[in-house]
Amino acid sequence: MRVLIVVHPVPKDIKKIITLKDDDYVIAVDQAVLDLYKQRIKIDLAVGDFDSLKNEGILTQLNVVRLKPEKDVTDTYQALIESHNLNPDELLMIGGIGGDRIEHFVVHLMHFNEFKNLRILNEHSEIFMLEEGIKEIAFEGYVSVFAYPHAKITLEGFKYPLNEYQLGQFDPLGISNEKTKEKAQIHVHQGCVLVILSQKDR
Domain boundaries, the chain: 2-123, 129-198
Residue type for position 20: L
User: 129-198 has which CATH code?
Assistant: 2.60.120.320
The answer for residues whose C-beta is within 8 angstroms of residue 193's C-beta and 6 or more apart is 129, 130, 145, 146, 147, 148, 151, 153, 167, 174, 186
Residue 202 CA to residue 192 CA, distance in Å, equals: 31
pLDDT at 59: 85
Q: For the domain 2-123, what is the CATH superfamily, name and number?
A: Thiamin pyrophosphokinase, catalytic domain (3.40.50.10240)
The DSSP secondary structure of 39-78, one letter per residue, reads TT---SEEEE--TT-S-GGGGTTS-EEE--SS-SS-HHHH
Mean pLDDT, consecutive 10-residue stretches, the chain (202 aa), reads 96 96 96 95 94 78 88 92 95 92 92 96 97 96 97 98 97 97 96 96 68
Q: State whether the Cα torsion 137-102-2-43 is positive or negative.
A: negative
pLDDT at 128: 98
pLDDT at 202: 57
Residue 123 CA to residue 142 CA, distance in Å, equals: 14
The candidate with the shortest Cα–Cα distance to 62, out of 36, 93, 88, is: 36
Does an H or E element contain 97, and which?
Answer: none
Residue 30 CA to residue 117 CA, distance in Å, equals: 23
Contact yes or no for 131/165 (Cβ under 8 A): no
